[in-house]
Amino acid sequence: MANDEQPRVFLTLLVCTLGRVEPLERLLSSLTAQTLKNFEVIIVDQNPEGSLDPTIQKFPELRIKHLRSRPGLSRARNIGLSASSGRYVGFPDDDVWYRPTVVEEVFDTFRRNPKLSAITGRLIDPEGHPVTVYLPGEAQITRENIFEAANSNTIFIECALAQSLRFDEGLGLGAASEFQSGEETDFLLRALERGVAGWYFPELTIFHDAVDNGTPFAERARRATAYARGFGYVIRRHRYPPSYILGKIARTSLRGALCVATGDLDGARLRLAWTNGVLYGYSKGKPKLPVAAERIHGKKK
């Protein structure tokens, strides 16, 4: 190696951003405090041209690549993946922020577990409370637990693998379809179908603001329906058995009934909106061929 050759970047942090300047600045500030500095930041900007320039200029100490994309989270991530040079890549949203040791913890986790191609952690609020559903202890990521073990903000995966998988641009926030979620689950499920080894580490935590229960009900119902449609679509695409979706609906219906019993009618309506969204998405999903069948089908073409 030549003396002036730079060591390979360990981690690419791929941030897609639209309409959030102050939260993005908070994330970038947290990255300047990282105890391990061998990472790059790719910002895929979907804002009006030039609007982020003053923010990015505040952080000359960070290795930032500033790219542009039309709206669409999965589209933007794929643009960022094409420019990623790290050995691993993570996907922080523009409204999360890192504890000072996160990059170092990711490095140490992969160093201690060289057979793993992907790891995930937990999303928590500033008080340490979980923001999403989660598993209580370490676990291998499987089809059965993936919805509790993986949030896009806490996914770290081999970059070459991510570049070969890419995100489905028909899924996720800003997609042209009705399915405004599920892109990261589809992404990881396709990795598992390749035999990739992934592991969930609950002690690997990333900050996100607490869920705002003051959001108007109409917006909460719209969001619940949109996310549920993506969930239903993905589980149909990946050939989950009908018993899986029926179990989810039964548990949600039970919670809805408890809401009615306690007078929480908004809670009951939200669960009804979620159930309707899941059934709609499931009805629209087209089951993927099993991997072996896909290979046979591909050979026949």
Among 3-12, 86-95, 112-121, 228-237, the minimum mean pLDDT is found in 3-12
Average pLDDT over residues 125-147: 93
Q: What is the rounded average pLDDT of the residues 232-246? A: 93
On the question of pLDDT at 292 being above 60, the answer is: no
At 205, the amino acid letter reads T
Residue with tokens 């080894």: 197
Question: For the residues 29-35, what does the mean pLDDT come to?
Answer: 98
Distance in angstroms (rounded) separating the CA atoms of residues 174 and 171: 8
Query: Which tens digit of pLDDT belongs to each residue from 155-187?
Result: 999 999 999 999 999 999 999 898 999 999 999
Q: 260: which 2 tokens?
A: 């009615």
Average pLDDT estimate for 47-54: 94
Q: What is the mean pLDDT of residues 209-220?
A: 80
Q: Is the pLDDT of residue 8 over 90?
A: no
Confidence of residue 289 (pLDDT cuts 50, 70, 90): low
**Residue 182 Cα distances to 104, 146, 293, 296, 298, angstroms:** 28, 11, 24, 27, 26
pTM here is: 0.89
Q: Would you state the pLDDT for residue 211? A: 75
